[in-house]
Structure 1
Amino acid sequence: MIRRKLLNWLSPKNLHHSVVLGVLVTLVGSGCMLGPDYLPPPVTVEDSWIYQNSKSLDSLESINPYWWQSAFADPVLDDLVAQAIENNLELRSAALRALQAQQLLSIAIGNQFPQTQQIEGLVDRSKYVRSGITGNLQSEYYLNFNLTWELDMWGQLRRLVNSGAADFESSLAEYDGLLVSIIAQVAQTYINIRTIKRRLEVARENIRIQREGLRIAEVKFNAGEVSALDAEQAQTLLSNTEATVPGLETTLQQLKNTLSILLGMPPHSLTDILSVSPTVPDVPSIIAIGMPQDLLRQRPDIRQAERLLAAQGELIGVARAELYPNFSIGGLIGAIDIRGGQLNGRSDAWDLFVDFEWNVFNYGRLRNNVRLQDATFQQLVSDYQQVVLQAQVDVENAIVAYLKSQEQQYFYNIAAMASEEAVNLSITQYIDGQIQYNTVLTTMVSNLAQQDILVVAQGAVAANLVQVYLSLGGGWQIVDGLTPLELLPEETIEDMLRRTHYWDKLLD
């Protein structure tokens, strides 16, 4: 390291020193920025979706940011989503990470300005005694102020600001991505709860039918028309069906517990909220999905990956700047006042200097660091391209699952209606003695399975629709433009203000 004081004094008589200082200060704002300058890398995006010609899809219309409202029109779901946005603890943590990134950016911006400020002062009163002779009382007052400013000759500090800005934008995209995920999880969990409730209703309805079948078999046995075998078979089927109810109730409570975590509240608080009818939500006949090119600005994970890439791109210039001299200017202004001594009186002191540091003996390490930052950048290019590719696959998978689940539901609905009619016919024929009870059992087992499959298929259609919106990245726009502090609930801000008042300016 070479450190050399180039200029340590300045006076009106030495005008050329003032000129030198003016030139150096000018260089602060006009210094070059070592590259490379960041440009987003090219990515491959398809022109259309594979199934975009489906009558259920509208690729010309962009998705509604409040898609859950337009898709399901369910006030209970709307309220659950609002509570999750307000109280979800993971979302709150992401907002605080964005707030931290914002403060790091502010620190990077501040580093462009005078960085070292110090005020030193001294007040001293003394009296000396020597060989029995007492000296005069002496008072000394001393005050110094110094300042150092690093000149951004090669753009290192500006690159760090750009990198900090990209990191901050990346943290906001991370919040947006989590918000989209939380909204989708709330919607899917709510759909699953209503689906399980409907499955319970189907199970209990089949239990009622099977109890009636058992009663008929017992009546016929008591009348001597059939053996005890029919009643025993009927009881076996009924007990097995009754055993499915506790399992479904367990799943229902577990889903409620999962929802409570998403809402940031204890499980017992959901009792009144989820007193909903046991029906599976319907889906609209046509849904808007936009075009594949919309993903680049719509998916938060794509924006996050691109911003991380941009932040890393700036660090290459930072690493290159370390290969060149680092200049700084500084100065000191002070005053000394001595009373009562031989140096009685007041004097002023000042100093102006320009320093530079040059790591000339570390070029191997510094060059390796440039290579390291560039290799990291190239890795993030691949990561970014992978995210874009995966996003398109996610949407295609969600679309095909949604469309094909609708087709399945159509056929399952026909099968369920047929199985229900088969049960009614078999019971009537059994009463008339036209068939054996084995046939009745077969139709009842089939009916329970078909009715349950139909409900599961209905729930899958609604859940797959949520997955479509999740893969498209919709929903984050509802908080677009809000600052990290505005994303936090009032009680969190109040906690922070109680610890320190320095948040006041950001809240103004």
Structure 2
Amino acid sequence: MSRFTRATLAGLLPLALAACMTVGPDHKVPGDAVVNATTANGPFQGADNPAVSIGEVPNDWWKLYDDPKIEGLVKQALVANTDLRVAAANLKRAIAVYHEVEAENLPEAKFRASAERGQIAGEPLLKEEKIPAMNFGDIGFDVSYLIDFWGKLTRADEAALAGAQASQAALDQARVGVVAETVRAYMQGCTATHELHVAQHQLDLQVRGAQLAQKMVDAGRGMPTDVLRAQAQADALRAVLPRYRAEQEGAAYRLAVMLGKPPTALDMSSVACEHVPTLRQALPVGDGAALLKRRPDVRQAERELASATAKIGVATADLYPQIRIGASAGFTGILDHLGQAPTAHWGWGPAISWTIPTSGTRARIHNMEAGAEGALAHFDGVVLRALRETQSALSSYTHELERNQALRDARDKADEAARHNRLLYQAGRSPYLQSLDADRTLANNDAALAASDAQIAMDQINLFVALGGGWQDAPAVAVGGQ
């Protein structure tokens, strides 16, 4: 190559590099996407209820219960839960893919060395005699760099990075679920214990009532049927107890699995709390804008959309030729002469390769475009689901609070009525059936109130899950240079 040619190439190369372009669309969430709607970013209906506030949702929402047992269980679950281990492994794999794609931007270098014994044909060398067998050798070094004229590597990097960030969001979403299910399992054990105590208390009252009815019969002041009715009511209450014990055991099994342990690793004491934990303040819910920024599944869907958009550029770049600039040097020849001047060779310069586009290339681009359309639709759907879940959970919580207050008022009145009817029966001023009905009404009201208390505890957790907190302070795995 002449000096003029080398100088020309050296001068044109910077211009060529400056002319590089990135084909395909740049990622940008469309203005008409649901996430940008005014109604999606406004306050929630029902946020004016005294039981909730528009304050910021804390990262560690479970600490609002002010229960050291819950805090300890959550810490254990965030370390040992198997779902988190799977999500963390998926993230590591996505990061490895990103670094693999990123490495395509680096120069490609090859070293080669070979030795063989053989015979070359004489006729191509214009020799009629047979050339004797010889030992041949080749040693050399090649380096080349793909000039990203059309931005294929850039788009591939964008797609891989967005995919890794989506995996990070999936891990964060898994953390939200693990925290919620851990607290839920503990709460279910607490509520089952509370309902068991209520049922046991009512059974004790009914057993004493049956004993009193027997004493009245023995004293000639009662009817044998009164004893049978009292015993039947006691049996009905006793039949409820096994269900609550089963719920206690089931809660312990679920909690153990959330902590990465076999189901039977925890005993009943792990969930048999005497009092159901309650929030020490109004439940903070924030607004729609904060929700959509906080929920990991919304962030995951947006990153998946970014990845799908970048893949359009990767496919589009296949319409254009690939340009590499490279150099090589080495020695090739008779093995004994390797290293000597006659065996030396070198070269450098650009190389162009172009696979003529076919309808398959166009179809691949259309495939990627359809994938991006689907990713946008999925993103809109995730946003709508996030808003619906939060609004529904908030509605269920506030209305259950109203129901709970009505049940509490009813229970208090039933308790007073049952107490008066017992006194009247003991004084012989009313039949036992009337007292039995009052006790049965009280038992039903106590059970309904305990069930409502349990539902409120579950509604609180459901609302916290919908709000999407609980992942922010967990240790994160670094993604690329982010």
Give the structure-1-normalised TM-score.
0.84
Native 8 Å contact 2:318 2:357 kept in 1: no
Alignment partner, residue 38 of structure 1 = 27
Contact 1:192/1:459 (<8 A) preserved: yes
SS in 2 for 1:477: coil
Structure 1, 463-472 or 50-59: larger mean CA deviation: 50-59
Distance in 2 separating the partners of 1:138 and 1:378:
63
Alpha-carbon distance in 2 for matches of 1:344, 1:289: 79
**Which among 81, 90, 108 is matched to residue 97 of structure 1?**
90
State the secondary structure of the residue aligned to 1:322.
helix
Match of 1:492 in 2: none
Q: Aligned partner of 1:434: which letter?
A: R
Task: State how 1:251-400 maps to structure 2 within 5 Å.
Answer: 251-271=247-267, 274=270, 276-336=272-332, 338=334, 347-362=343-358, 364-400=359-395
Give yes or no for contact 1:296–1:302 (8 Å, CA) kept in 2: yes
Deviation at 1:361, TM superposition (A): 5.0
| Alignment check: 8 A CA contact 1:137 1:341 kept | no
For 2:186, which of 190, 201, 225 is the aligned residue? Answer: 190
Give distance in 2, aligned partners of 1:29 and 1:161.
20
AA aligned to 1:171 is S
**Which one of 399, 408, 429 corresponds to residue 404 of structure 1?**
399
SS at match of 1:351: strand
Identity of aligned residues (%): 24
2:74 maps to 1:81: yes
Q: Distance in 2 between matches of 1:34 and 1:318?
A: 8
Give the letter aligned to residue 293 of structure 1: A
Work out which of the residue numbers 82, 106, 115 in structure 2 matches 1:113: 106
1:142 has 2:142 as partner: no
| Structure 2 match to 1:496 | none
Matched residue type, 2:148:
D
| Matched-pair contact (CA < 8 Å) for 1:33–1:155 | yes
Per the alignment, residue 495 of structure 1 pairs with none
Is the 1:95–1:484 Cα contact (8 Å) retained in structure 2? no
**Counterparts of residues 216-227 of structure 1 (less than 5 Å):** 216-227=212-223
Does the CA contact (< 8 Å) of 1:51 and 1:399 recur in 2?
A: yes
How far 1:323 moved relative to its partner? 1.1
Question: Shift of the alpha carbon at 1:119?
Answer: 2.0
Pick from 194, 207, 213: which aligns with 2:209?
213
- Could you give the per-residue CA deviations for residues 181-203 of structure 1, whole angstroms, max 9, x where no partner exists? 11111112211110000011111
Q: Is contact 2:188–2:247 with CA below 8 Å preserved after alignment? A: no
Q: Is the 8 A contact 1:339 1:345 kept in 2?
A: no
Q: CA deviation at 1:481?
A: 5.0
Q: State the distance in 1 between where 2:437 and 2:337 align.
A: 117
CA drift of 1:343 comes to: 12
- Amino acid corresponding to residue 31 of structure 1 in structure 2: C
Shift of 1:330: 3.0
* TM-score, with length taken from structure 2: 0.89
2:6 counterpart letter in structure 1 = H
Q: What is the CA–CA distance in structure 1 between the aligned matches of 2:269 and 2:7, rounded to whole Å?
A: 74
Gaps of 5+ in 1: 1-9, 128-135, 486-505
- Aligned alpha-carbon RMSD (Å): 2.8
Query: Aligned partners of 2:271 and 2:472: how far apart in 1?
Result: 30
- Could you say which residue in structure 1 is the equivalent of 2:443? 448
Which SS does the other structure have where 1:122 is aligned?
Answer: strand
Deviations 1:17-54 (A, max 9, x none): 35425644764575110121111123322422212222
Distance of 2:476 and 2:339 partners within structure 1: 64
CA displacement 1:474-507 (0-9 Å, x = unmatched): 111112654379xxxxxxxxxxxxxxxxxxxx9x
